[in-house]
Amino acid sequence: MPATWSAGILPAIAGKSASMARRKLWIDDAMTTDVQSIAAAIRAGGVIAYPTEGVWGLGCDPENETAVERILSLKGRRREQGLVLLAANEAQLAPFIKPLPAAMARRIRAAWPGPVTWIVPAADGCPDWLTGGRNTLAVRVSAHPPARDLALAAGTALVSTSANRHDEKPARDVPSLRALFGNALDAVLEAPLGDAAGPSEIRNAETGKVLRAATTDRP
């Protein structure tokens, strides 16, 4: 287990009331530091939560339409809005995107691995539950160890969408995650968030234009 994130999150809620401490919380059962068990849940079609660079994310196998639909339902998100894929390396994104022109690849690689999501041309046949029916796809190669390690263990890029109801603030701690989704998740990766203050920046890979600026103020 990577030493950079093995300390765990649950101590952060240890100071809650005695009555809460006595209750059997769903997240105690769902939460684990075992990346391989989370990866197995993903491969089995599960919906999981995992820490990203700045917020908790919901994830699944991007090629499993049923799992993706579960995430969209949990969030109240429309299918046509599309989703982000998070990967450990560029090779994991290759099945989902077209080969990138040299100038576009240089622009993207200057920011990767890191907390920048790029809108790139989607591969022919990329599922519309990922693209939202467009010819582009939002992708990111992460440098955050827990997220990167999970993608490697799962053997695929992961759906990565903020753990929130649509148009509401994303979860940045375990109690918020619990309040939002109760027992609706199959597994939760126990690990810390990264250093970012919020969701990743999104840029157009063709022009470099910032479509969503990175959050700089912490809640």
* pLDDT, position 108: 98
- Mean pLDDT computed over 193-200: 90
Q: Where are the beta strands (DSSP E) in 28-130?
A: 31-32, 48-51, 56-59, 84-87, 116-121
Strand partners, 137: 120
Give the structural domain span for 204.
Answer: 24-211
pLDDT, residue 198, reads 83
Rounded to an integer, the average pLDDT of 83-96 is 98
Percent of the chain with pLDDT over 70: 85
Instruction: Output the pLDDT for position 130.
Output: 98
Q: Which residue has the higher pLDDT, 200 or 96?
A: 96
10 part of a folded domain: no
pLDDT digits 0-9 by tens, 5-51: 443 333 333 333 333 332 334 556 788 999 999 999 999 999 999 99
Q: What was the pLDDT predicted at 34?
A: 95
More confident residue, 141 or 29: 141
Q: In the predicted model, what is the mean pLDDT of residues 143-168?
A: 96
Question: Is the per-residue pLDDT at 178 higher than 60?
Answer: yes
Q: Do residues 204 and 54 lie in contact, with contact meaning Cβ atoms separated by under 8 Å?
A: no
| pLDDT at res. 10 | 33
Q: Is 156 contained in some domain?
A: yes
Whether residue 3 lies inside any domain: the answer is no
Give domain status of residue 19, yes or no.
no
Among residues of the chain, what percentage have pLDDT more than 90? 78
Judge whether residue 3 has pLDDT over 90. Answer: no
Rg (CA), the chain: 17
pLDDT score recorded for residue 167:
84
Q: CA quadruple 199, 149, 135, 108: dihedral positive or negative?
A: positive
Residue 123 counted as domain residue: yes
pLDDT of residue 64: 98
Q: How many CB atoms lie within 10 A of CB 149?
A: 23
CATH number at residue 162: 3.90.870.10
| Residue 217 resides in a domain | no
207 lies in some domain = yes
Give the pLDDT mean for 153-175. 95
Give the total number of structural domains in the chain. 1
Q: Is residue 114 part of a domain?
A: yes
Model pTM score: 0.86
The mean of the pLDDT values for the chain is: 88
Task: Please give the pLDDT value at position 216.
Answer: 67
Lowest mean pLDDT among 76-80, 88-92, 113-117, 213-217: 213-217
Tokens representing 217 are 């103020």
